[in-house]
Amino acid sequence: MCLADIQLLRYTWLLWLPVASSGNIKARHVVFPIMKVCRGGITSHFVRNDYLSLDMPIDSDVFRVPPGYNVPQQVHITQGDNEGKGVIISWITADEPGSSIVLYWAENSEFKSQAQGFYLTYKYFNYSSGYIHHCNVENLEFDTKYYYEVGIGNTTRQFWFKTPPQAGPDVPYTFGLIGDLGQTYNSNTTLTHYELSSAKGKTILYVGDLSYADDYPFHDNVRWDTWGRFIERIAAYQPWIWTAGNHEIDFAPELGESRPFKPYRSRYHVPYRASGSTSPLWYSIKRASAYIIVMSSYSAFGKYTPQYKWLEKELPKVNRTETPWLIVLMHSPIYNSYVNHYMEGEPVRAVYEKWFVEYKVDVVFAGHVHAYERSKRVSNIEYNIVNGLCRPTNNPSAPIYITIGDGGNLEGLATAMTEPQPSYSAFREASFGHGIFDIKNRSHAYFSWNRNQDGYAVEADSIWLRNRYWGSSEEASLAALR
C-alpha cells in the first residue's frame, strides 16, 4: 500500500467518523473532504460560487467613457523595446483622429519631451473602430518614474509609469500573472485583488484571452472597447506583456472576417521586431532579471515554421548571467489535468518541451483552462516511437508549468478534473484569482496564487523556485545571502 492509498483510506475514515462519534470530530469532517491527496499532488475540491460569471452591464462604471469630446480612452502601455528603455503607449479617440503625440517627462524634471505616434482604424463586420493610437517612447532612463500626457486641448489625460531597472542577475522584480480575464464581476474582483495586493506587482504577464468579445453575436467589438476601458486603471500605469489566446483569433469567414487576430493586432502592439521576430504573436523581452519569451499557441509551430525558426535562434541567445530567470508565456498549457482543454497543448509539447529542458526554462505560464494548476518539475522527452517511454518523469532541468487562466471570464470555471490526479500535477483548484512571481535574486523567486474569495494578502498556493541555471551553484547561494 503506497502513501497515496493510505491517504485515501484516511479520507474515507474521516467521512465515517461523524456518524459514530461526536464532539470535535465534526469540525474535522468539514475540513478534510475539501482536500484530497492522491497519486499526484493536491486537488482542492472546494467548489467556488460561480454566480458572478456574467459580463458586467455595458453601462457599468468600470466601462465609463471619460468625459469630454474625443478624449483619449482605453489607455494602455507595454514594453516598447527589448531591454526596458522603451514603452509603447496606446489609446483610442472615438470621434476624430486628434493627436498621436505623447508628451512625457521624468519625475522631478522640468524638461518635457514629446514622441510622435500614429493611428489606425479597422472594420470588423458591422463595427468600425475608433482611432487607435500607438506611440513608441524610446531611450528612457532605467528605473525612473515618468509622467505622460495624451490628447489635445481641453481633453488631455495624464498618467505615469516606472521603467524597470537595467537588466542584471540580482535585480529583484515582481510580476503579476493574469489570464483569461474577460469582463465579468469576477474579472473586476481579480483586478482589484491585484491592485490591492501587498506584493505590489510592477508588470503584468498576461497569458492570453482578453475581452471575450467573440462570445457575443457577430463578435461584437464594442466589447473590445469596454474591456479596454475596464483594464485602463492598471494598464495605463504598468506594462502588460501580451500573449495571444484563442479568443484573439476572431476568425469568422461567415461574417466576411477571415484575417486572424485582426482586432487584437490592431489594438495591442508589442515590440516583436526588437527580438528579431517577424510576427507580433511571438517575441521576447528582457525586464530586470527576467528574460520573457512569448509564444503563440495558435500560429504554425512545427519544424521549419517562422515561429520554430525564431525560437531555435532565440533560446541560445539568452544570457543567464545577465537575465537568470527564463520565463515562457503561452496560452494553451502543455501540462493540464483538467477535463477542459485536456491534451490541447500536446502538439506544442511534442515540438518544444525538449528545448525547455535543454535551456533550463524556469517556469512556463499558460492560461486557457479557467482554473489554477501548478505542476511538478517533469518532462516527457524520451519517446521515440519504438521505445514506449511516454510518461512524464521528474526532471530537475525541467520547468514548472503553471496554469493561471482563472481571471474570471463569462465562460465560468473549469471544474471537471481528470481522476486520479496525474503524477505531474502538484496542486490544482478551480477558483478564480491571479498570481505573483516575485524574483528575489539570481537563485530564488517566490510564486504565490491568490484566489478571489480570500483576502488580498492570503496565499492559496505558493512555492519557492530555485533558478534552473543558478539555483544550485555556490555563487548563487552567496548571492542569496547578500
Report the alpha-carbon distance of residue 206 to residue 239 in Å, rounded: 10
Report the alpha-carbon distance of residue 92 to residue 130 in Å, rounded: 6
**DSSP track, 220-238:** -THHHHHHHHHHHHHHTTS
Name which of 246 and 450 has its Cβ closer to Fe ion. Answer: 246
Active site residue 341: yes
Report the alpha-carbon distance of residue 186 to residue 49 in Å, rounded: 10
Smallest separation, CB 33 to Fe ion (Å): 31
Return the half-sphere exposure (C-beta side, CA atoms, 13 A cut-off) of residue 230: 27
Smallest separation, CB 94 to Fe ion (Å): 29
Please give the backbone phi and psi of residue 38, each rounded to the nearest 5 degrees, phi first. Answer: -130, -150
- List the one residue out of 370, 57, 90, 46 whose CA is nearest residue 188: 57
Cell of 471: 539555483
Q: For residue 9, what are the contacts with CB-CB under 8 A and spacing of at least 6? A: none
Q: Which stretch binds Fe ion (CB under 5 A): 5-13, 24-32, 113-121, 366-374?
A: 366-374
Smallest separation, CB 208 to Fe ion (Å): 6
Name residues contacting Fe ion, limited to 199-218 (CB under 5 A). Answer: 209
Please give the backbone phi and psi of residue 339, each rounded to the nearest 5 degrees, phi first. Answer: -65, -40
Name residues contacting Fe ion, limited to 331-350 (CB under 5 A). Answer: none
Q: According to the binding rule CB under 5 A, does residue 370 interact with Fe ion?
A: no
Q: According to the binding rule CB under 5 A, does residue 368 interact with Fe ion?
A: yes
* Under 8 Å between Cβ of 159 and 135: no
The amino acid occupying position 36 is K
Q: According to the binding rule CB under 5 A, does residue 245 interact with Fe ion?
A: yes
The CB-nearest residue to Fe ion is: 368
Name which of 130 and 367 has its Cβ closer to Fe ion. Answer: 367
Decide: helix, strand or coil at residue 471. coil
Chain position carrying cell 500573472: 177
Q: Which stretch binds Fe ion (CB under 5 A): 42-50, 315-323, 367-375, 451-459?
A: 367-375
x/- binding map, residues 217-236, to Fe ion, per CB under 5 A? Answer: --------------------
Smallest separation, CB 331 to Fe ion (Å): 6
Q: Which stretch binds Fe ion (CB under 5 A): 20-28, 235-243, 362-370, 449-457?
A: 362-370
- State which H helix or E strand residue 433 sits in: strand 433-439
Q: Which stretch binds Fe ion (CB under 5 A): 210-218, 223-231, 246-254, 379-387?
A: 246-254
Please work out, in degrees rounded to the nearest 5, the angle formed at the alpha carbon of residue 250 by the alpha carbons of 244 and 255. 170
CA separation, residue 385 to residues 342, 353, 388, 390, 441 (Å):
22, 16, 7, 9, 41
Smallest separation, CB 419 to Fe ion (Å): 23
Q: Which stretch binds Fe ion (CB under 5 A): 245-253, 380-388, 449-457, 474-482?
A: 245-253
Name which of 248 and 461 has its Cβ closer to Fe ion. Answer: 248
Chain position carrying cell 463578435: 219
Smallest separation, CB 314 to Fe ion (Å): 24
Q: According to the binding rule CB under 5 A, does residue 179 interact with Fe ion?
A: no
Name which of 207 and 288 has its Cβ closer to Fe ion. Answer: 207
Total residues in contact with Fe ion, by rule CB under 5 A? 4
Report the alpha-carbon distance of residue 186 to residue 178 in Å, rounded: 13
Name residues contacting Fe ion, limited to 117-156 (CB under 5 A). Answer: none
Bridge-based pairing of strands 42-44 and 325-329 is: unpaired
Name which of 368 and 468 has its Cβ closer to Fe ion. Answer: 368
Q: Which stretch binds Fe ion (CB under 5 A): 39-47, 292-300, 360-368, 415-423?
A: 360-368
Q: According to the binding rule CB under 5 A, does residue 296 interact with Fe ion?
A: no
Q: According to the binding rule CB under 5 A, does residue 183 interact with Fe ion?
A: no
Cα torsion 428, 437, 293, 78: sign: positive
Report the alpha-carbon distance of residue 216 to residue 259 in Å, rounded: 18
Name which of 177 and 199 has its Cβ closer to Fe ion. Answer: 177
* Under 8 Å between Cβ of 339 and 381: no
Among 74, 99, 226, 246, binds Fe ion (CB under 5 A): 246
Give me the catalytic one of 76, 133, 247, 341: 341
Q: According to the binding rule CB under 5 A, does residue 320 interact with Fe ion?
A: no
Name which of 262 and 287 has its Cβ closer to Fe ion. Answer: 262
Active-site positions read: 341
- Contacting positions for Fe ion (CB under 5 A): 209, 245-246, 368
